[in-house]
Amino acid sequence: MNINATLIGQSIAFFLFVWFCMKFIWPPLTRALDERKRTIADGLAAAERGKREQELAEKRALEVLKKAKGDAAEVIAHAEKRAGEIADEAKNQAKVEAERILVAARADIDQELNRAKENLRRAVAELAVAAAGKILEKEIDAKAHAKLLDALVKQL
Amino acid sequence: MTGETLTSSEYIKHHLQNLTFGRLPDGAWGVAANHEEVQQMGFWAVHLDTLGFSLGLGLVFLFLFRLAAKRATAGVPGGWQNFVEWVVEFIDGTVRGSFSGRNPLVAPLALTIFVWIFLMNFMDLMSIDHVPQAAHAAGVPFLKVVPTTDPNVTFGMALAVFALILFYSVKIKGLGGFLGELTMQPFQAKSWPMRLVFLLPNLFLETVNLIAKPISLALRLFGNMYAGEMIFILIAVMYGAGWLLGPFAGLLQLGWAIFHILIITLQAFIFMVLTVVYLDMAHQEHH
């Protein structure tokens, strides 16, 4: 092992290799690494943003759904109320109509009754008058009397 | 596997000899055929095997990582790109953890040091005989496949790191600031005469401190790898020691190789972290 010019050769080669590495190897590699780091960071940020946006959209969708549900419930409640009202109205109308018909019927019955009573009264009066007249003219004629009475009874 | 003509000592020596190219004793340039020729070549010679494997592995690193860098996109990474990105992020995290300044050089520097040294260390896990034997068959007298067991490699890189330390110390703090750092501490004084008294001891201590950085950097890596290689060679010698020790050597080799996986990674990592720390100290105004 002797020291000789190999030493100088090795030193020169060392400088040349380091220079080459510094010029042509290190920069592209670190650039690529940095670029990838940035790309990954961007990707992560985008993913984060996307996630947040999705959360927001979900929240919005939930709100819309809730609102729709509320609207639907309102519509249904309204409809039910309206249906109830319509049914009540119909019931009331029917009741009123029934009342009216009843009243009319009662009025008719009363009228008929009165008329009948009037007729009867008139007939009874006529009969009474006729009977009285007959009784006064032919008191003795029992047979005729009885006959008259029978007719009266028949007419009543 | 000691051949018929090789003793254990020759075998070890052979394994520790680099393929050296330099000025031969007869004045011509060529590859040394034996140790004596290598000794006579002096400083102006190069280890062809060391430089070849070192540059080759460095280029493999650059090619493979450039491949991933060219295809790098922010999209889903493929298998190889994924691995490269994992390494890059690991280095980046380590550098961010220990380097507080701003310098676009430091992270690529750390990446190059870590992967390159790891690959060079990894050659240690190759079978220590087959490649040199193949080379020998091809007419190459010596071949050491692990560049980091050659002090030239570790010192070469440590000195390059040292040059960067000096460069950034002067660049960030200015020449005055750097010299001040060398002479005004650790002994500090308020008055100028006292400062002059402390100047020399301070200079001595700080210089030792400064010089110790590249030397420790180089020797730590070299020592670990050289020792590891040495143990592999000794285990390999054991194979030739008979039917009793042969299987035991196999067991030892497996154990040491598994343990060595840890060492080669750790040493590459330590070299990288210390380089980053030293450069961080060079970037700080007061440490």
Does residue A15 register a pLDDT over 60? yes
Query: Phi/psi of residue B72, each to 5°?
Result: -60, 125
Please list every residue in chain B whose beta carbon sits closer than 8 Å to the beta carbon of residue A24. 66, 69
Q: Please state, as a whole number, how many other Cβ atoms lie within 10 Å of the Cβ of residue B214.
A: 22
Residue B249: what residue type?
A: A
Smallest CA-to-CA distance from B49 within B141, B160, B156, B154 is with B141
Asked if the peptide bond before residue B108 counts as cis, ω within 30 degrees of 0, the response is: no
Contact B69 A5 (CB under 8 A): no
Whether residue A152 has pLDDT greater than 70? no
d(CA B48, CA B115): 21
What are the tokens at A92?
A: 């009331």
pLDDT at residue B44 greater than cutoff 50: yes
Beta-carbon contacts of B226 under 8 Å, excluding residues fewer than 6 positions away, are: A1, B149
3-state secondary structure of A88: helix
Cβ contacts (< 8 Å) between A32 and chain B: which residues?
72-74, 85
Residue B209 is a catalytic residue: no
- Is residue B8 predicted with pLDDT exceeding 50? yes
**CB atoms B69 and A29 under 8 Å:** yes
**A29 neighbors B71 (Cβ within 8 angstroms):** no
Query: Does residue B228 contact residue B260 with C-beta atoms inside 8 Å?
Result: yes
**Catalytic annotation, pick one of B8, B23, B103, B220:** B220
Confidence of residue B284 (pLDDT cuts 50, 70, 90): confident
Which of A82-86, B4-8, B17-21, B230-234 has the weakest average pLDDT?
A: B4-8
Chain B contact set for A17 (CB, 8 A): 58, 61-62, 112, 116
B152 closest CB neighbour out of A6, A22, A35: A6
Q: Is the pLDDT of residue B2 over 50?
A: no
The half-sphere exposure of B224 on its side-chain side, counting CA atoms within 13 A, is: 25
pLDDT of the residue at B1: 42
The residue ranking higher by pLDDT, B61 or B127, is: B61
Tally A–B CB contacts below 8 A. 129
A4 to B46: CB separation less than 8 angstroms, yes or no = yes
Quick one: closest CA in A to B81, which residue? A29
Residue B31 has pLDDT above 60, yes or no: yes
Those residues with Cβ within 8 angstroms of residue A100's Cβ, 6 or more apart along the chain or in another chain: none
Residue B268 CA to residue B221 CA, distance in Å, equals: 8
Give the total residue count for chain B.
Answer: 287
* Amino acid A44: pLDDT: 95
pLDDT average, residue stretch B84-89:
91
Is B147's pLDDT higher than 50?
yes
How large is the average pLDDT for residues B76-82?
A: 83
The letter for the amino acid at B79 is G
* Euclidean distance between CA atoms B160 and B225, whole angstroms: 20
Write down the residue that tokens 């006579």 correspond to: B40
Which residues does chain B have within 8 Å of residue A21's beta carbon, measured at their own beta carbons? 62, 65, 108-109, 111-112
Is residue B38 pLDDT above 50, yes or no? yes
Query: Which residue carries 């889903």 as its tokens?
Result: B76
Structure tokens at B265: 């990674």
Q: Cα angle at A149 between A148 and A152, to 5 degrees?
A: 90
Q: Is the pLDDT of residue A77 over 50?
A: yes
Kindly report which listed range (A116-125, B115-124, B262-271) carries the lowest average pLDDT score. Answer: A116-125
pLDDT digits (tens, 9 = 90+) for A110-141: 999 988 888 888 888 778 777 777 777 765 55
Is the per-residue pLDDT at B268 higher than 90? yes
- Give yes or no for a contact between B54 and B120, defined as CB atoms under 8 angstroms apart: yes
Residue A3, pLDDT above cutoff 50: yes
* Domain parsing of chain A, residue ranges: 7-154
pLDDT, averaged across chain B? 85
Averaged pLDDT for residues B257-275: 93
Percent of chain B past pLDDT 90, that is, above it, reads: 34
Mean pLDDT of chain A: 87
Selecting from A22, A33, A38 the residue whose C-beta is nearest the C-beta of B108 gives A22
**Active-site option among B18, B54, B202, B224:** B224
| Whether pLDDT at B48 is above 60 | yes
Look at A92-96, A118-122, B215-219 and tell me which has the smallest mean pLDDT: A118-122
> Would residue B220 show up in a list of annotated catalytic residues for this protein?
yes
Burial of A76 (0-12, 13-18, 19+ CB in 10 A): exposed
Band of the pLDDT at B73, cuts 50, 70, 90?
confident
Mean pLDDT to the nearest integer, A14-34: 91
Contact B140, B32 (CB under 8 A): no
Angstroms from A47 CA to nearest CA on chain B: 18
pTM for the whole thing? 0.74
Ordered strands of the B20-23 beta sheet: B29-31, B20-23, B46-47
